[in-house]
Amino acid sequence: GAGVSQTPSNKVTEKGKYVELRCDPISGHTALYWYRQSLGQGPEFLIYFQGTGAADDSGLPNDRFFAVRPEGSVSTLKIQRTERGDSAVYLCASSLNGQGNTEAFFGQGTRLTVV
């Protein structure tokens, strides 16, 4: 596709359940980022992939959060034992590479609500 695609757009889950959020980056972009945006706040960095490997996962809040990008394209953010505090919009971004002047393009986000 022309832009970064995220699915689903909205996800409502019960506390304690497992969820997967998908990101389809722009074709050819090697760098992929996940951010979390709470209501009324700016996005906060979670994890960065360069190709298939997680080059920086310092933003993941705890071990309930995990992300993969097995073929260097599509990425999945996985959240175990969800908590109400996990409710937020999860944004994915991709860029041509992770360096220099390359612009990061964001998807529309997945709004996760934990009830």
Partner 1 sequence: QQQVKQSPQSLIVQKGGISIINCAYENTAFDYFPWYQQFPGKGPALLIAIRPDVSEKKEGRFTISFNKSAKQFSLHIMDSQPGDSATYFCAASSLGGSARQLTFGSGTQLTVLP
Contact residues toward partner 1 (CB under 8 A) are 4, 31, 33, 35, 40-45, 48, 50, 55-56, 59, 91, 93, 95, 98-100, 102-109
Integer-rounded Cα Rg, in Å, for the chain is: 13
Nearer CB in complex with partner 1: 15/98? 98
* Min CB(16)–partner 1 separation in Å: 28
The DSSP result for 19-75, as a single string, is EEEEEE--TT--EEEEEEE-TTS--EEEEEEETTEEEE-TT--STTEEEE-TTSS-E
* Min CB(109)–partner 1 separation in Å: 5
The vertex-69 CA angle with 66 and 71, nearest 5°, equals 155
* Min CB(87)–partner 1 separation in Å: 16
Q: Which two tokens stand for residue 13?
A: 């889950």
Nearer CB in complex with partner 1: 18/69? 69
Nearer CB in complex with partner 1: 53/85? 53
Nearer CB in complex with partner 1: 54/114? 54
Amino acid occupying residue 72: G
